[in-house]
Amino acid sequence: METIDYNEGAVILIDKPTTWTSFDVVKKLKFALKVKKIGHAGTLDPLATGLLVICTGKFTKKIDTYQNDAKEYICELTFGKTTPSIDLETDFDGEYPYDHINNENLQTAIASFIGEISQTPPIYSAIKIDGKRAYTLARKGLEAEIKSRLITIYSIDILSFENPILVLRIACSKGTYIRSLVRDLGEKLHSGAYMSNLRRTKIGDFDVANAKTIQDFVKINTTTLPE
């Protein structure tokens, strides 16, 4: 088995577990591989799972390139309730009707989000406002204005729909917040919605099918690394 020099440079595909932050994964690999330069090409929320592209050594110069690639996600959302964070990080803060949602109005609503659209990121996000992360302000109960941005939704496919639970496959551009799409879809359908599960499956040509769990990767590589 060929030994990879991670200090020289490599691309590592990790299937991030739930509750871990993207930084947790980077920190774990930095320590396990004893590398000086390491970073990831696109943050995943702690409650999300799936593909993290980690770059070490000279490949850290490609992080911006990989971050600009299209992403694919499998998103499960639940209609009828909302949370401030638009996921299960925070408690429910509203209930809404959802019995009126059917395949016809759902398809119409989804079609309205395809293409280049203006999207406002969630207040619970890592966007900086006056030098502070938005989620830091949100957790303190402080109000902050987040500007909308242009993003592109390439495709949205319905994988299953058993009201109130909808599962979508979404292909989108850099800068897209799936939680914002969930929020906006709920509002478009005169209801509310929160993201109950999220998994990133692709970044450009990289596929989560080729990724390893952090535990498996560390186990394999810490036993094969040279002294």
Q: Is 205 a catalytic residue?
A: no
Report pLDDT for 132.
63
**CA 112 remoteness from chain centre:** 22
**Distance of alpha carbon 46 from alpha carbon 44, whole angstroms:** 6
The CATH code belonging to domain 71-203 is 3.30.2350.10
Report pLDDT for 171.
98
Among 5, 15, 24, 45, the one annotated catalytic:
45
- Which CATH code of 3.40.50.880, 3.20.20.80, 3.30.360.10, 3.30.2350.10 fits the domain covering 9-68+204-224? 3.30.2350.10
Domain residue extents for the chain: 9-68+204-224, 71-203
Report pLDDT for 197.
98
Report pLDDT for 122.
86
**Distance of alpha carbon 37 from alpha carbon 39, whole angstroms:** 7
Do the domains 9-68+204-224 and 71-203 sit in the same CATH topology, yes or no? yes
Per-residue pLDDT of the chain (227 residues; tens, 9 = 90+): 467 899 999 999 999 999 999 999 999 999 999 999 999 999 998 999 999 999 999 999 999 999 999 999 999 999 999 999 999 989 999 999 999 999 999 999 999 999 999 999 888 666 666 666 666 655 656 666 778 899 999 999 999 999 999 999 999 999 999 999 999 999 999 999 999 999 999 999 999 999 999 999 999 887 654 44
Report pLDDT for 35.
95
Report pLDDT for 83.
96
Report pLDDT for 127.
67
- CB-side neighbour CA atoms (13 Å) of 206: 25
| Threshold 0.75, pTM exceeds | yes
Strand intervals (E) in 44-162: 49-57, 71-79, 81-82, 94-95, 115-119, 128-129, 132-133, 149-162
**Distance of alpha carbon 150 from alpha carbon 167, whole angstroms:** 24
**Distance of alpha carbon 132 from alpha carbon 70, whole angstroms:** 27
